[in-house]
Structure formats: structure tokens, C-alpha cells
Structure 1
Amino acid sequence: MSRFVRSEREKLANLFVTLGPDAPTMCTGWATKDLAAHLVIRERRPDASLGMFVPPLRGHAKNTLRSFAAKPYQELVDLVRNPPMWSPVSNPLTEGLANTLEFFVHHEDVRRAQADWHPRELPKEDQATLWRNSSMIARLRLRRFPATLLVQAPGFGEVSTGAGGERLRLVGAPGELAYFLSGRQRATRVQIDGPSALADRLRNTPLKI
């Protein structure tokens, strides 16, 4: 199991316990019990997980989410904490790729919905892991953005993406960039340099898969 994923999973499970089932998250309409249910379904119910991408299955996905969210909360958190080895997304071959951003972002979804949140000071190794993932996501999700976009994580690297044209620069720590590129632009602490209209467009562009 990826050390970083294991650490984020454990910290998120502990935070779920601390906050209880009805605490807010950054995921619209979801309390902590709903987010925990989502994570469990993603790893244990691929039939329901397909509902995020296949419209005819959305009703099944919503019903499954409600069913899992209604489970005893501690049981639900224990399922988050202890993933099945057979899961398509949490087995040793796929977990690093499939779960690095999943667990970091959802950990931040819970942290940043609380009134006293503050950016974490992550070890350099963890920041490097997040940058590797963020740089790939930047190329994928921003390749059609109507500008020449330079994404920079000082001390870790930079990538150029976008469809060309006017220049725009997105600068931040790897964790902030990871959160930004996951569609949470308004809840991140990054710097955007360039034409204001393009900067506003970047802040409001849907970036979720």
C-alpha cells in the first residue's frame, strides 16, 4: 500500500471519528457520513460507482449511497480505514495512481469545511508525490483551456499546458494545486498571474472528471 495513501486514509478516518457523522464537507450536499459512504462504495461497490459516469445508473448510485450512509457510523468509518485488497482501486497495483489524490482531496474536503482550518505543512516527500500527480492532472484537465498556461510549484517543478494564446501562470504549493485542479478553485490558496478575464475563467472552469 502507498505510504502516502495509507497516511491520508488514516488521518481522514480519524477526522471522521472526531467530527461525527453530520459535520459539513466541501462536497455540496454531503455531510461526513455521506463522504465516508462514497469512499466505501468506490472501493467495494463498483456497480454503484459507475453511476458517477453512466447516467442510467445514477439512480442506483444514489440509492446505494443513501443505504451506506445510513449504516452505523463507526462501522462505516472502519470500512474506510480498512480497504479490501481485491478492490479495483485499492489493490497494491493500482492504489498509488487511483487513490493519492482521492484521499488527499477528500481529507481536505473535510478539513476545509471546518471554521478553523489552515493549510497543512506537508513533508517534502509528500509534496513531491502530490506534485507528480498534480502535474499529470494539469496536462489532462487544462489542455483545452484557451491560453498558454504555466503551472508552477516552486521547488518542485512546472508544466506548460493549455490551447495556446495569452499567457497565464498558476502558482502554488503542490497540495494547493492538487486541490485547485480537483475543482475546488475557490477554496485554495494559489496565485494566478495574467489577464483578469482569463484568471476569472480559470477560477470558474469545471475541473472535475
Structure 2
Amino acid sequence: MSMAQRERQALVQTMTAAGPDAPTLCGTWTVRDLAAHLIVRESRPDAAPGIMLKPFAPYLDRVQHKVAQRPFPELLAKIAGGPPWFLRPVDSLMNLTEMYVHHEDVRRAEPGWEPRELAAADEDRVWKVLTGLARMAYRKSTVTVALATPDGRRTIAHQKGDRTVVLAGKPSELLFHAFGRNAVRLEATGEPADVEAVHALDRSV
């Protein structure tokens, strides 16, 4: 089973335990809202473009709101069943980060959360994705942003000027930060104002 598949099943379990009205780290979305988003993203190609393209966002919102009215167990069963057949060949490519990040969105919205210990092979997979994605995530930074891991891996996410902020942590924590979340366990070094600015960046991908 791929990491994307394992994260999908773990996400469904965590959503089940949290309940439909529990908060997430996705703004005002509840677990129910997040479940509806995941379903629309995979199974409603007519509405999914609204995720990235603002002119289509109102239609997306209407479709997603309607999907969210379904019984909660039905929503979870739909997610657990995996993507439609035509997306399964690219499931690992398109859903590894989606399922991991949204799983943590549910987990870390709860008080007292702790990072999970991922297998070394999964951290390696995340690092490979992160090195490409980070260039987009930190593109608006006014200083250089470098990412580093405890085992010595390092990449420049964004090159800008002569000041640098280094974000150090496990690939999974760095990925979560790159997706715009600050509920992470990272060590950030650099000028305090620069570090604060990097944390405050619009890191939407």
C-alpha cells in the first residue's frame, strides 16, 4: 500500500474519531467541510477547478456545500473508497501530500497534538516532493529560505538577497509548513524579523 493510500485510511479514522463538527486547520472548515472538499476534488471535475481558479470558486462553493449535507458516514465511506478509477494510476502523485496534509489538519486542530513518527521511507518520499514544491511555497519571500533536515539534507527553497532563514526539521514537518501551516515542530534560524516574515508568508501552492 502506498503512502497516499495509508494516509487516506488514517485520515478517515481520524475524522471518524474527531466527528463531523470538529475544527480543522483549514480556516473555518469543520471535519465535515474538509470531507466534502476531498470528495469534490476527486469526483467532481466540473467543480474542482474552483480550488485553484477564483472565477470558478462560487460554483465550487455551491457544489461543496451540497456534498457536505450528505450523512457523515457516507462522506467518510466515499473518501475511504479511494479516487475514481481514472485517477488511480496517478493516486500516489496527486494525493500523497493532499492526504498527509489534511490528515494533520484534523490531528493538529486538537489541543495537545504531537508529531507522528513516520517511517524513514515515507520521510524520503516526502523530501522528494518537498524539494520541488517548496520553490512555489516560498516564492513570495523577501529573504532566502533554506530547508534542512536532521540527517544533513538541505535545499534552497527560494533565493533572495543576502539574508537567509533556515527552517530545520523532518521532511514531514517542513512539508506541512510549506503548505501554509504554522502548527509545526521546526527550528527556524535567522534574523527574528525575517523568521517572523517567513512564518507569515502566503505559502499557498
- Bucket of the pairwise TM-score, normalised by the shorter protein: over 0.9
Tell me if the contact between 1:151 and 1:171 (Cα under 8 Å) persists in the aligned partners.
Answer: yes
Deviations 1:44-103 (A, max 9, x none): 00211111222222111111111111001111101100123334xx421x2222111100
Query: 2:172 aligned with 1:175, yes or no?
Result: yes
Alignment-derived partner of residue 14 in structure 1: 13
Alignment-derived partner of residue 136 in structure 2: 140
Q: How far did 1:25 drift?
A: 0.7
Query: 2:118 aligned with 1:122, yes or no?
Result: yes
Alignment-derived partner of residue 162 in structure 1: 158
**2:155 aligns to what SS in structure 1?**
strand
Alignment of 1:96-111 (within 5 A): 96-111=92-107
Alignment-derived partner of residue 83 in structure 1: 82
Tell me if the contact between 2:140 and 2:202 (Cα under 8 Å) persists in the aligned partners.
Answer: no
User: How far apart, CA to CA, are the structure 2 residues paired with 1:84 and 1:187?
Assistant: 28
Alignment-derived partner of residue 61 in structure 2: 62
Deviations 1:147-192 (A, max 9, x none): 23221112262101323321221111111101000000x2111111
Alignment-derived partner of residue 192 in structure 1: 188
**1:168 aligns to what SS in structure 2?**
strand
Tell me how many residue pairs correspond in the alignment.
204
Tell me if the contact between 2:47 and 2:59 (Cα under 8 Å) persists in the aligned partners.
Answer: yes
For structure 1, which segment, 153-162 or 56-65, has the greater mean C-alpha deviation from structure 2 after superposition? Answer: 153-162
User: How far apart, CA to CA, are the structure 2 residues paired with 1:147 and 1:156?
Assistant: 22
Structure 2 counterpart of 1:192, one-letter code: A
Tell me if the contact between 1:128 and 1:156 (Cα under 8 Å) persists in the aligned partners.
Answer: no
Q: How far did 1:144 drift?
A: 4.8
Percentage identity across paired residues of the two chains: 33
Tell me if the contact between 1:151 and 1:160 (Cα under 8 Å) persists in the aligned partners.
Answer: yes
Cα separation, partners in 2 of 1:86 and 1:153, compared to 1, 3 Å: same
Tell me if the contact between 2:83 and 2:91 (Cα under 8 Å) persists in the aligned partners.
Answer: no
Q: CA RMSD in A?
A: 1.5
Could you list the runs of 4 or more consecutive aligned residues of structure 1 that deviate by over 4 angstroms after TM superposition?
A: none
Structure 2 counterpart of 1:21, one-letter code: P
Listed as ranges, the gaps of 5+ residues in structure 2 are none
TM-score (norm 1): 0.92
For structure 1, which segment, 145-154 or 6-15, has the greater mean C-alpha deviation from structure 2 after superposition? Answer: 145-154
Tell me if the contact between 1:152 and 1:158 (Cα under 8 Å) persists in the aligned partners.
Answer: yes
**1:187 aligns to what SS in structure 2?**
coil
Tell me if the contact between 2:137 and 2:179 (Cα under 8 Å) persists in the aligned partners.
Answer: no
**1:66 aligns to what SS in structure 2?**
helix
Tell me if the contact between 2:138 and 2:201 (Cα under 8 Å) persists in the aligned partners.
Answer: no
Cα separation, partners in 2 of 1:130 and 1:48, compared to 1, 3 Å: same
Tell me if the contact between 2:178 and 2:203 (Cα under 8 Å) persists in the aligned partners.
Answer: yes
User: How far apart, CA to CA, are the structure 2 residues paired with 1:19 and 1:141?
Assistant: 29
User: How far apart, CA to CA, are the structure 2 residues paired with 1:56 and 1:148?
Assistant: 33
